[in-house]
Every structure is written in C-alpha cells, then in structure tokens.
Amino acid sequence: DTEVTQTPKHLVMGMTNKKSLKCEQHMGHRAMYWYKQKAKKPPELMFVYSYEKLSINESVPSRFSPECPNSSLLNLHLHALQPEDSALYLCASSQVGEIGRRETQYFGPGTRLLVL
Amino acid sequence: AQSVAQPEDQVNVAEGNPLTVKCTYSVSGNPYLFWYVQYPNRGLQFLLKYITGDNLVKGSYGFEAEFNKSQTSFHLKKPSALVSDSALYFCAVTHRGGFKTIFGAGTRLFVKA
C-alpha cells in the first residue's frame, strides 16, 4: 500500500467557520507533511511531523493548527481563514531513519479549499 | 541562498519525439535531487531521484534524468513522448537526511498527438 489519502476532496468554508482536513497513510512512514499549493505554483511547506512531534513550522499563521494524533493520521485544523488561504492543501509522508530513503515523499491527492 | 531553477514555463513536443525538461540547482553540500509529476487536480507523484552513484537515473514511466555536477543540472528526459505524459513537472532538492524540500517553479509539458 503506497497510498496517502486525504479527506475531504473539496471544502468551501466561510471566514468564521472551523473545519478540519484529514490525512492518512498506512505505509509505516513516521514523517508527515502539510503543503499549500496555489494554482500553477510549486508546493509550499507548512508543517513537518516526525514521530508524531512537530519538527518544522514554516512560520504558518496560527489560524492553521496541525495535529498528529498517531503515526498514521495527520490533521490540519482551520479557523478564521482568509480568502487568500484558498488553495490545494497537500499531505505527504516519508520514511524516517534510513538516509537515502527518508527524503522521498509520497503525496496525497489534496483537498481543494475555497474560503468565502 | 539555495534554489532550484526550471528555466522553461512550458515545453511542447510531438508524440514520439524525445523530450527534455531542464533543471538547475544551487545548494550547498551534496543534495538529493528529485523529479515529481503532477496531473491536473492531483497530488504530486514521485518519478525518480539521484542520491549517489551513476549519473544517469532511471525512473517511472520510461523517464530518466542525468545528474551533472559541474553544470549543477538534473535534466529530465524521455526518448519517446506520449500524450499521456502531458502534466506539470517539478524538480526538487533535499539535503541529505533532511525533511525540507525545495521545489522548482514547475514546467508544464504538452505532448501533441
């Protein structure tokens, strides 16, 4: 199983709403990532979790709150977002431990978010 | 500053012809180099990577890439393009043992039948 799943596929929310994005993988990967991708642009790293602990936070606004409840699951909680936060949110995972293998990331299909 | 450059926004090629998508990088040390492909409304898919060893790396779907240290390049190639290869291609670099990946701006490949 080399699949990373993300739900929902699409999400429309108002600026006062609270919603969550979910990501799941069963490859035994212990590193998980959130990226934001605007149309026709490369992915921008937001957060990295390693062994369920937050390892990297790329100065993301606090209206985005990540959570890694277990080794297979990664959530992104959204609150009071702005229209400019509309984007494709990608989750990825990778191995941790063996250098030369950990750097390859496996991506989910993404959640397309529209903030009104 | 560390960076990855994909000098072409778009590459057009006829089906059956060879294709090249260019990538150059500027990073310290010995980075790991990757190519990812993104189809419309999909996540990124890993194509191939260079870690060490043979400069010619073979990957998925018949793609290959040539690492050239002196020119700091890692161009993606395929001997015979297919219409289904039409997609957005990203070159990326990661430091050895690191989690942080730097992506190029992307190159859109159009293969015409």
pLDDT value, residue A102 = 65
Strand, coil or helix: what is A38?
A: coil
- The larger pLDDT score, comparing residue A53 to residue B94, is at A53
Residue of A36, A44, A46, A103 to mutate when probing chain B, most B C-beta within 10 A = A103
Q: pLDDT truncated to tens, each residue of chain A (116 aa)? A: 569 999 999 999 999 899 999 999 999 999 999 999 998 899 999 999 999 999 988 889 999 999 999 999 999 999 999 999 999 999 999 987 666 666 788 999 999 999 99
Residue with tokens 């161009």: B75
- The larger pLDDT score, comparing residue B92 to residue B29, is at B92
**How far apart, in whole angstroms, are the C-alpha atoms of residue A33 and residue A56?**
9
pLDDT greater than 80 at residue B99: no
Distance from CA of A39 to the nearest CA of B (A): 10
